[in-house]
Structure 1
Amino acid sequence: MHRITVIGGGFAGLTAAITAAEAGAKVTLHEAHHTLGGRARTAEAPYRTNEGPHALYNGGPHWTWLHQRDLIGPLAPLPPLEAARLRLRHKGVLRRTPPFGMLKLLRRTARHAPVDVDFLTWATEQAGAEAARAAAHYSAVALFHHDPGSLSAAFVQERLRRATKLPPEAHYPRGGWATVIDRMAARAWNLGVRMETLSRVETVPEGRGPVIVATSLDAARHLLGDASLTWPSGRTALIDLAVRTRRGDAFAVSDLDAPGWLERFTAQDRTLAPAGEQLVQGQIPIAPHESRADGIARAEHLLDLAFDGWRERLTWRSEATANGRTGAVDLPGTCWRDRPAVDRGDGVYLAGDQVAAPGVLSEVSFNSALTAVSLALGRHGLNSLDLKHA
């Protein structure tokens, strides 16, 4: 029987542990925190916030994998009336529709964007400067980056299309992402995975079979002592707040004048806040020279536009900064294949959202986890990376 050690109990680590155990391996998982989940943790009641706005996209392979194992659980559907309350800030005011030129970039017949050109340059050639800037800023909902227009055109276009599909790909597990993590942990337990929390690993275990490091890239770099484990990511100011309910509040606000997004999560899931209150979560990407306060100030401006009287209605508030914890971003001339490789040699494998695997958001963690297990067990039939996702 193969023995595999998984370091990290987030989405990637649990995916790796379940996959390896299903293949017959004896798995031990170590998690430094007292609970599993990583960035997929959900805060305890009364305000069940995720670490930044979270949604589960149904267009990737992880959706089928989770669904087949009954790991998704009940979803919180967005009422049609609420969906109609999406607002876009453009030229300083709230609008219901995007600039006409931006729609040109969203058509299925739009030209496939190149890898080696930045998105703003390519999109400007396709639809003009105004539409290109608006599209770049809108894509921040799936990028968490302060300057999406400077990234690879192919990278941004894929995420823009996924984020604007109709019907929407984004779905919301009722009760937050913790419900998915709890189901994954239960399945891992039933498969015999040994899960040790409050178990910080300082050195790579030796003599206990392959090791899958499913941590942040920063943590993996320190653990493995490998300075090459770096890749660009985003830096984002996070704001969570609860306000007393008032009719007419927007469902979500996308800033087309600058990257930023606010969403009223209780629009689809009333269980996330006490009765009579609404839970709003937002992310405002900030540049390296900007402070969290700069991002929060921009978030408050969006709140002023879309949530009338929110300051007087405020019942709870929290702020944070996510630095290098928002997934990989690909600069012009690079793609997912150029990121740190899953196979690090000597029986050590990486999994997470900043390594060499395709997909959008959590799909990268999922695909890298399956690749790591496939390589660790020498069973390439386990590898779910289909070339159509490349």
Structure 2
Amino acid sequence: MPTHLTVIGGGLAGLTAAITAAESGARVTLHESHHTLGGRARTAEGAYRTNEGPHALYNGGPHWAWLKQRDLIGPLAPLPPIEGTRLRLHHQGKLRRTPPLAMVKLLRRKSEQAPVELDFMTWATGEVGEEGARAAAHYLAVATFHHDPGSLSARFAHERLRRATKLPPEAHYPRGGWGSVVDRMATLAWNLGVRVETLSRVDTLAPFAAKGPVVVATSLPAARHLLQDDALRWESARTTLVDIALTSRRGDLFALSDLDRTGWIERFTTQDRSLAPAGQELVQGQIPLAPEESKADGVARADHLLDLGFPGWRDRLVWRRDAVSNGRTGAVDLPGTTWRDRPAIDRGDGVYLAGDQVAAPGLLSEVSFNSALEAVTLALTPTRLDLKSA
């Protein structure tokens, strides 16, 4: 009899685990408490196709090959030419086309040169001076969502800095947003025989653990409650998300990065017109919040950046939504820690953990993919060994 594997959570990690296990011959049941799949990768239905965070999918990790082999990425929205992207950097109170030279010099350092035990700001200041170090740290908000990336491990931060500034860019945009990728993953899971139970809230693992291994692919706070393990904690970030729709106007920026503080504004319809009605632009501001800052503080900072990059935007505003993403932006590693120090995937007794804050490498959503693959490998390998020995 094939192994029965239960997956709790229908986000990217849960769908990856379900597909991988089904391809390996396991009987899989997936439970999702929401009425739709996708987790944080859901794309909003309606006129404005927003995501909880960026629409970008990076191609520098093994998950890209995994998705591509299964034809799950789908059509990509074409990136604008580098010379025509109209990316601006807010530095020393002005909008600039190029980063400080010291920041560019820092990109030439190999990530292996950045120490794990030292914070990024201290190390980078020693390498290129305080101005370049601070600008680089603030630019990192696009890849960490953290209010103070300079306080993070130098190795962790520099790896993400190099990937976020790489040319040609690693970031690609699935047409229609993350939801299009989720739909294709859900279809593949269905075709592989995965049983999907939506609106299925799980409060205890006991009934499922009796049937076979269980992969808990939820947020870390939800996993902490479900496994009744208070040790399931890791640093994350809190971010204000400001989504707006504007009437189109020639000459709008593609993106604006705040190098004086942390913050990022991006016009997603630059490359994907399907995200908003004809004649309108979908723009998102991502403003990391310090512990003492409120949602209103983040909204005010986003509005200030919009004033700088999109003059007169209030007169063109046709729709707006403000929200706070709390602890839902992936793991960040403090000095002296790496991804190996995060909560382990193998929780014992046939229970495995997957998600974006556990012990797996990668940038942003890549941690979810990589941890899901490892969780299924660990869950199914003992059974295979037992069958061979029998």
Same fold (TM over 0.5): yes
Match of 2:12 in 1: 11
2:228 matches 1:235:
no
Q: Offset of 1:331 from its aligned partner?
A: 0.3
Task: Normalising by structure 1, report the TM-score.
Answer: 0.96
2:330 matches 1:327:
yes
Q: Structure 1, residues 87-107: CA drift from partner, whole Å, max 9, x if none?
A: 000011110000110001112
Q: Offset of 1:207 from its aligned partner?
A: 1.1
Q: Structure 1, residues 330-388: CA drift from partner, whole Å, max 9, x if none?
A: 0000000000000000100000000000111111001100000000001699xxxxxxx
Match of 1:387 in 2: none
Q: Structure 1, residues 23-80: CA drift from partner, whole Å, max 9, x if none?
A: 0000000000000000000011210000122310001000000000000000001221
Residues 103 and 380 (structure 1), Cα distance of their counterparts in 2 relative to 1, 3 Å cut: farther
Match of 2:313 in 1: 310
Matches of 1:53 and 1:43 in 2, distance apart? 13
How many residues are treated as equivalent by the alignment?
Answer: 381
Residues 173 and 82 (structure 1), Cα distance of their counterparts in 2 relative to 1, 3 Å cut: farther
Alpha-carbon contact 1:104-1:110 (below 8 Å) kept: no
Which of these residues, 239, 242, 247, is aligned with residue 244 of structure 1?
A: 247
Q: Secondary structure at the match of 2:209?
A: coil
Q: Structure 1, residues 209-248: CA drift from partner, whole Å, max 9, x if none?
A: 0000000000000011000000000000000000011111
Q: Secondary structure at the match of 2:233?
A: coil
Match of 1:202 in 2: 203
Matches of 1:215 and 1:35 in 2, distance apart? 14
Q: Which letter does structure 1 place at the counterpart of 2:371?
A: S
Residues 16 and 84 (structure 1), Cα distance of their counterparts in 2 relative to 1, 3 Å cut: same
Match of 2:145 in 1: 144
Alpha-carbon contact 2:111-2:155 (below 8 Å) kept: no
Higher alpha-carbon deviation: 225-234 or 72-81? 72-81
Matches of 1:256 and 1:268 in 2, distance apart? 24
Alpha-carbon contact 1:233-1:325 (below 8 Å) kept: yes
Higher alpha-carbon deviation: 124-133 or 81-90? 81-90
Residues 66 and 83 (structure 1), Cα distance of their counterparts in 2 relative to 1, 3 Å cut: farther
Q: Secondary structure at the match of 1:172?
A: strand
Higher alpha-carbon deviation: 371-380 or 168-177? 371-380
Q: Mark the runs of 5 or more structure 1 residues left unpaired by the alignment.
A: 382-390
Match of 1:104 in 2: 105
Alpha-carbon contact 1:62-1:366 (below 8 Å) kept: yes
Q: Which letter does structure 2 place at the counterpart of 1:132?
A: A
Match of 1:176 in 2: 177
Match of 2:26 in 1: 25
Q: Offset of 1:249 from its aligned partner?
A: 1.0
Q: Secondary structure at the match of 1:12?
A: helix
Matches of 2:92 and 2:280 in 1, distance apart? 31
> Superposition RMSD on alpha carbons, in Å?
1.3
Task: Normalising by structure 2, report the TM-score.
Answer: 0.96
Match of 1:364 in 2: 367
Matches of 1:12 and 1:317 in 2, distance apart? 30
Which of these residues, 269, 282, 287, is aligned with residue 284 of structure 1?
A: 287
Alpha-carbon contact 1:353-1:362 (below 8 Å) kept: yes
Q: Which letter does structure 2 place at the counterpart of 1:355?
A: V
Runs of 4+ in 1 over 6 A off after TM superposition: none
Matches of 2:61 and 2:121 in 1, distance apart? 26
Q: Which letter does structure 1 place at the counterpart of 2:148?
A: D
2:54 matches 1:53:
yes
Alpha-carbon contact 1:82-1:267 (below 8 Å) kept: no
Residues 376 and 202 (structure 1), Cα distance of their counterparts in 2 relative to 1, 3 Å cut: same
Which of these residues, 266, 287, 300, is aligned with residue 263 of structure 1?
A: 266
Matches of 1:37 and 1:348 in 2, distance apart? 22
Q: Structure 1, residues 183-222: CA drift from partner, whole Å, max 9, x if none?
A: 0000000000000000000101231100000000000000
Matches of 1:128 and 1:188 in 2, distance apart? 51
Alpha-carbon contact 1:45-1:273 (below 8 Å) kept: no
Matches for 1:208-227 after TM superposition, within 5 Å: 208-227=211-230
